[in-house]
Amino acid sequence: MLQPAEKILNAFERKIVNKICGPVLVNGQWQNRQNHKIYNLYKDMEITRNVRLRGLQWVGHVMRVKVERVPKKALEGYIEGRRPVGRPRGRWLNAMDRDARGC
């Protein structure tokens, strides 16, 4: 399921592609293209899907890196101390795991 930020990013991408391609003449009136026509015209993956794929590629790269490297320490490290009251924020690694299972 798409998060609100992902929906906004996809809408922005459609808006930009629509601006680049320009309006189309239908029955003597200029109209913007519909979303499904934009997707047929622009045969590339959505930007949010691309971001998820790149994130999964980066996680795979970091998993193969030696333990003493900084990216590996940052990915697998834990912060000491008490956490604030309330629901914990979603972790980036959990999001990557969810994306990997969704592929």
Write out pLDDT tens, residues 53-103: 999 999 999 989 998 999 888 888 877 888 889 988 888 888 888 888 876
Tokens 């969810």 belong to residue: 98
Q: Say what the pTM is.
A: 0.69
Tell me what the pLDDT averaged over the chain comes to: 86
Phi, psi of 85 (to 5 degrees): -70, 145
Query: Structural domain boundaries of the chain?
Result: 1-44, 45-77+92-103
93 near 75, Cβ under 8 Å?
yes
